[in-house]
């Protein structure tokens, strides 16, 4: 290949017309994908087989620029779409990430092309303004005083939880940032109180912060799998006797296992009395705030110190898009205490006022707010509220269906769109271990069949089947079809073991 030919192919890779042709290929494939309402779950392919298929699509020439091949692009898109969880299908009931509102995907596509990192206003002007606008819009449902609070976007709820807990730690142990563990000397050791069902990212954050799981104070749960308010004060008193200083209590608005909402209002009264920072991991359930029907599940949210809110879950936005709210604006500056002349301006002005690089871990950050803001600007709150209301009502209907089936047991009353249950085949006398193993085997068999995708979770010491209703295309009839698949799988498993 001559130098001129090589330069031509370099220019072609950035050519606007080629971009249009490539985009049209992708849009055509995705349009077909979105229009397909067939019931499909997960097509599991062995990793080695998938790797062979992927490598077969790669150029073998590493020294020269390959010419664009539309058929190869089409094949890559087909492989990408086919091998993932089918989040837009009525067969998808397994996880907490959702199919996106298509407009959100379009804007995310624009963000990838214009490539405006949004931690600093000069790099992403509209994303930074959009963050401020969405903070104000969503605060109408939280209830803090305008201009007194702050919001910053982060890449995922795990990072948001870590950031909020850093801010809480640095408030009570201001020297910890520079001096590490030596900062508290002979003082009580820093500790975090959490519900026993708290998301694993909180325990992970404690390890990252150098606090350690031994200094997590596990709060008891009630029968609804919520933090038991009656057990909080005794647990905190016991922690104090152990020489621990609980600086933060992390509660959940929609736990991952069963979607339970901790009693925020009552917990806020306790933490205020004791001077403890209250952080709410609302990654899943904070979105219920935009629903008139379900907002009360977060009663007392205006009293908390910080809130994690994943828009890529119940706001149906491309991932990641996490919003981290602080009740006090000054607290948003407490997580990271650094100076860096190449990014932080010594003399703030109106153009740097919206910078968030000093408030979040990321320096280069996707303009993740843009899909959410655009959807809110075009459709308004009602789009999100109506879908949330439908999914929660559908989950309640699924619960009623299970109550009428003698070979199924519900394990909780669903508070949102997560429902856990077990299959107890009629006539099968199973001990706990056998029942546990049966639920896991059923879930795996249903998954491998590829029509439906459901998940599982351990409740107590016994596994349970778990559905998460994230798709408004799902109906009660689809859920009945899932139950039929579960029964069939259970019968096959027991027969293979000579039990039926």
Please tell me the pTM assigned to this model.
0.93
Please name the residue ranges forming H helices in 315-428. Answer: 369-379, 381-403
pLDDT tens string, the chain, 500 residues long: the values are 555 555 667 788 889 999 999 999 999 999 999 999 999 998 889 999 999 999 999 988 777 888 889 999 999 999 999 999 999 999 999 999 889 999 999 999 999 999 998 878 888 889 999 999 999 999 999 999 999 999 999 999 999 999 999 999 999 988 887 777 766 667 788 999 999 888 888 888 888 888 888 899 999 999 999 999 999 999 999 999 999 999 999 999 999 999 999 999 999 999 999 999 999 999 999 999 999 999 999 999 999 999 999 999 999 999 999 999 999 999 988 887 644 433 445 566 677 777 766 777 787 889 999 999 999 999 999 999 999 999 999 999 999 999 999 999 999 999 999 999 999 998 888 999 999 999 999 999 999 999 999 999 999 889 999 999 999 999 999 999 999 999 999 999 998 876 55
| DSSP code, position 304 | -
Q: Is the dihedral of CA 254, 162, 317, 319 positive or negative?
A: negative
- State the pLDDT at residue 344: 46
Distance CA 394, CA 477 (A): 11
CB-based contact 310:157 (threshold 8 Å) = yes
Q: What is the length of the chain?
A: 500
Would strands 455-459 and 462-468 be described as parallel, antiparallel, or unpaired?
Answer: antiparallel
* Residue 134 neighbours by CB distance under 10 Å: 20
Among the listed residues 259, 165, 154, 159, the one whose alpha carbon sits nearest the alpha carbon of residue 201:
159
- Phi/psi for 419 (5° steps) reads -140, 130
Q: Is the dihedral of CA 371, 377, 382, 383 positive or negative?
A: negative
Distance CA 461, CA 167 (A): 35
Among the listed residues 304, 336, 301, 308, the one whose alpha carbon sits nearest the alpha carbon of residue 322:
308
- Domains of the chain with CATH codes: 116-379 (3.40.640.10), 383-496 (3.90.1150.170)
Q: Which residues have CB under 8 Å from 275's CB, separation 6+? A: none
Q: Is 177 helix (H, G, I), strand (E, B) or coil?
A: helix
Would strands 244-252 and 189-195 be described as parallel, antiparallel, or unpaired?
Answer: parallel
Question: What are the tokens at 297?
Answer: 């599940």
- 124: β partners: none
Q: Which residue has the tokens 């599940």?
A: 297
* Residue 494 neighbours by CB distance under 10 Å: 18
Q: How would you label 243-273 residue by residue, b for 16+ Cβ within 10 Å and e otherwise?
A: ebbbbbbbbbbbbbbbbbbbbbebbbebbee
CB-based contact 329:150 (threshold 8 Å) = yes
Question: What are the tokens at 415?
Answer: 């508070």
Distance CA 406, CA 234 (A): 40
Among the listed residues 296, 283, 480, 292, the one whose alpha carbon sits nearest the alpha carbon of residue 388:
292
Omega prior to 268 cis, within 30 of 0 = no
Distance CA 433, CA 380 (A): 49
């Amino acid at each position: 290949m001559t130098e001129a030919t090589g330069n031509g192919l370099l220019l072609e890779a950035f050519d606007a017309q080629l971009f249009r042709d490539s985009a049209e290929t992708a849009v055509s494939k995705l349009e077909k994908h979105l229009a397909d309402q067939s019931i499909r779950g997960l097509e599991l392919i062995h990793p080695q087989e998938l790797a062979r298929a992927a490598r077969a699509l790669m150029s073998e020439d590493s020294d020269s620029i390959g010419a664009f091949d539309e058929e190869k692009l089409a094949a890559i898109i087909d492989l990408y779409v086919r091998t993932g969880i089918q989040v837009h299908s009525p067969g998808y009931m397994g996880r907490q990430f959702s199919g996106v509102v298509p407009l959100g995907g379009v804007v995310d596509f624009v963000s990838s092309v214009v490539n405006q990192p949004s931690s600093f206003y000069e790099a992403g002007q509209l994303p930074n303004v959009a963050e401020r606008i969405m903070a104000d819009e969503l605060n109408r449902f939280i209830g803090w005083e305008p201009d007194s609070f702050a919001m910053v976007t982060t890449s995922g709820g795990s990072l948001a939880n870590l950031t909020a807990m850093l801010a809480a730690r640095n408030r009570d142990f201001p020297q910890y940032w520079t001096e590490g563990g030596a900062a508290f000397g002979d003082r009580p050791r820093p500790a975090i109180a959490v519900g026993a069902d708290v998301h694993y990212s909180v325990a992970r954050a404690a390890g990252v912060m150098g606090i350690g799981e031994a200094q997590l104070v596990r709060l008891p749960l009630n029968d609804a799998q919520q933090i038991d308010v009656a057990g909080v004060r005794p647990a905190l008193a016991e922690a104090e006797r152990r020489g621990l200083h609980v600086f933060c209590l992390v509660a959940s608005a929609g736990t991952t296992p069963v979607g339970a909402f901790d009693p925020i209002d009552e917990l806020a009264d306790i933490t205020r009395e004791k001077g403890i920072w209250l952080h709410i991991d609302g990654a899943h359930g904070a979105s219920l705030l935009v629903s008139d029907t379900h907002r009360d599940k977060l009663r007392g949210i205006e009293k908390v110190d910080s809130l994690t809110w994943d828009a890529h879950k119940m706001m149906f936005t491309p991932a990641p898009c996490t919003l981290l709210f602080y009740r006090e604006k000054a607290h948003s500056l407490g997580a990271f205490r650094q100076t860096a002349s190449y990014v932080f301006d010594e003399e703030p002005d109106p153009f740097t006022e919206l910078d968030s690089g000093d408030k979040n871990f990321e320096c280069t950050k996707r303009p993740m707010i843009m899909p959410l803001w655009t959807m809110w600007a075009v459709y308004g709150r009602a789009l999100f509220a109506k879908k949330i209301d439908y999914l929660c009502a559908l989950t309640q209907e699924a619960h009623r269906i299970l109550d009428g089936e003698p070979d199924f047991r519900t394990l909780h009353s669903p508070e949102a769109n997560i429902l856990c249950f077990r299959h107890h085949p009629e006539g099968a006398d199973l001990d706990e271990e056998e029942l546990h193993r049966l639920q896991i085997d059923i879930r795996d068999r249903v998954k491998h069949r590829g029509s439906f995708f459901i998940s599982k979770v351990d409740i107590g010491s016994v596994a349970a089947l778990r559905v998460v209703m994230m798709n408004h295309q799902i109906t009660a009839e689809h859920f009945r079809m899932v139950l039929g698949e579960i029964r069939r799988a259970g019968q096959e498993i027991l027969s293979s073991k000579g039990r039926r």
